[in-house]
């Protein structure tokens, strides 16, 4: 039986690394019943060990640096059916995920991974606001693109003093911003990335996509009673519309996940006091077990 290939993807700060670390611990510790079991170790365990150690120590995860890029594979097997799967974990700088939307091109390793994936586990962070900027917020004058990198356009004139760190505030105040790929809306980056999976000359085929809304504790902690699916439709409308109108290519389920169990460092003492670290994980969604982060992957593996 050929192992199915599941790609794990998410732009920086999407919660991907925290989820992988939690899932790795749950698989190895055997502290709770899981839909998947680990079938064998990865060829190089150093990156996964480092992630798991950070998670156990209740440390926050830093953005990937250029010299720390790595591709890791987690080998799992479905407990109920015995189906094998390879979870492909690309640990890449955000620029490589921004590039498709900014330039229309995709680096070969990412394009090949998208094409070869039987399913995708995709992350978005509930603590990130929805993408409500208008195109008119950004400068379209030729002069803006010749200005200094930190220049902004104010009332059509180039301000070479720079605009400070709070660019979201500047946009809301009506100050027009110079285009920066790293500040593109998350949804635009994800949509363009997904389009590479079926772009010609690649044959179009239908695959499963499990969308994980990370930091779900921030949603329920704020008194929000929305389901993950309803939150996704309201907070990520562009991506939701893209997937809805491409249902011949994507079969989607939406999950909520708190892989850390709460915000850090505020909840560190409470989380450290739990008898089992696996109990920090909170999952919500279709057919999930509360502390089992492998549930979405199990659904992806069952895809035809």
Over the chain (304 residues), what is each successive 10-residue block's mean pLDDT? 89 90 95 94 86 93 55 92 92 65 76 89 88 54 40 35 47 60 80 85 89 94 88 95 95 97 94 96 95 96 78
Which is it for strands 152-154 and 36-40: parallel, antiparallel or unpaired?
unpaired
172: phi then psi, degrees, rounded to nearest 5? -70, -25
pTM over 0.85: no
What pLDDT sits at residue 109?
Answer: 80
Same structural domain, 146 and 255: no
Are residues 54 and 122 both part of a single domain?
yes
Helix 16-29 / helix 46-56 crossing angle, nearest 10 deg: 90
pLDDT at residue number 76? 96
| Residue 110 pLDDT | 81
Tell which phi-psi region holds residue 162, choosing left (phi > 0), alpha (psi between -120 and 50) or beta. Answer: left
Same domain, 121 and 141: no
The residues, ordered by sequence, that sit 6+ positions from 227 with a Cβ below 8 Å of its Cβ are: 256, 284
Between CA 53 and CA 259 the distance in angstroms is 14
If asked whether residues 80 and 158 sit together in one domain, one would say no
Of 144, 172, 200, at which residue does a domain stop?
A: 172
- Judgement on whether residues 88 and 194 belong to the same structural domain of the protein: yes
The pLDDT assigned to 67 comes to 43
DSSP letters along 213-262, please?
EE-HHHHHHTT----HHHHHHHHSHHHHHHHHTTTTTEEEEEEEEESSSS
For residue 266, is it within any domain?
Answer: yes
Which residues, in sequence order, are CB contacts of 58 under 8 Å at separation 6+? 260, 264, 265, 268, 271, 272
Same domain, 256 and 146: no
Q: Does residue 30 share a domain with residue 160?
A: no
The answer to whether position 222 is within a domain reads yes
Domain end: 172, 199, 232, which one?
A: 172
148 and 17 within one domain: no
pLDDT of residue 94: 58
- Indicate whether 148 and 293 sit together in one domain: no
Determine, yes or no, domain membership for 229.
yes
Look at residue 206 and tell me if it is in a domain: yes
- How much is the pLDDT for 114? 86
CATH number for the domain spanning 77: value is 3.40.50.300
Q: Do 93 and 219 belong to one domain?
A: yes
In a domain, 177, yes or no: no
In a domain, 285, yes or no: yes
Q: Write down the pLDDT at residue 200.
A: 78
Looking at the structure, tell me whether residues 204 and 77 fall in a common domain. Answer: yes
Domain boundary among 172, 199, 228: 172
What total number of domains does the chain contain? 2
- Is 150 part of a structural domain of the chain? yes
Predicted pLDDT at 149: 40
- Which domain covers residue 165, as residue numbers? 135-172
Residue 51 falls within a domain, yes or no?
yes
Distances in whole angstroms, Cα of residue 2 to Cα of each of 73, 84, 116, 127, 251? 15, 7, 13, 38, 21
For residues 112 and 242, membership in a common domain is answered with yes
pLDDT at residue 1 in the model: 66
CB neighbours of 168 closer than 8 A, spacing ≥ 6?
none
């Amino acid at each position: 039986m050929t192992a199915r290939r599941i790609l794990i993807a998410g732009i920086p700060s999407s919660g991907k690394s925290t989820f992988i670390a939690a899932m790795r611990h749950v698989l190895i510790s055997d502290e709770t019943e899981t839909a998947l079991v680990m079938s064998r170790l990865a060829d190089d365990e150093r990156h996964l060990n480092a992630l798991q150690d950070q998670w156990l120590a209740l440390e926050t995860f830093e953005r990937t640096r250029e010299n720390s890029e790595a591709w890791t594979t987690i080998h799992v097997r479905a407990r109920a059916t015995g189906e094998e799967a390879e979870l492909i974990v690309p640990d890449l700088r955000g620029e490589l995920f921004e590039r498709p939307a900014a330039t229309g091109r995709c680096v070969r390793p990412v394009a090949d991974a998208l094409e070869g994936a039987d399913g995708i586990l995709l992350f978005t962070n509930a603590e990130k606001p929805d993408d409500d900027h208008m195109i008119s917020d950004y400068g379209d004058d030729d002069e803006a693109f010749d200005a200094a990198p930190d220049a902004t356009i104010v009332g059509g004139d180039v301000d070479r003093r720079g605009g400070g760190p709070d660019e979201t505030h500047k946009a809301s105040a009506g100050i027009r911003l110079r285009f920066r790929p790293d500040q593109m809306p998350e949804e635009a980056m994800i949509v363009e990335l997904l389009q590479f999976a079926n772009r010609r000359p690649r044959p179009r085929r239908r695959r499963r996509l499990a969308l994980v809304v990370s930091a779900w504790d921030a949603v329920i902690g704020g008194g929000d009673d929305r389901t993950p699916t309803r939150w996704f439709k309201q907070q990520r409308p562009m991506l939701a519309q893209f997937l809805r109108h491409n249902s011949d290519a994507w079969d989607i389920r939406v999950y909520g996940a708190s892989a850390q169990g709460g915000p850090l460092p505020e909840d560190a003492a409470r989380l450290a006091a739990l008898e089992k670290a696996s109990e920090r994980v909170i999952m919500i969604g279709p057919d999930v077990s509360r502390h089992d982060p492998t549930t979405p992957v199990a659904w992806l593996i069952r895809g035809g």
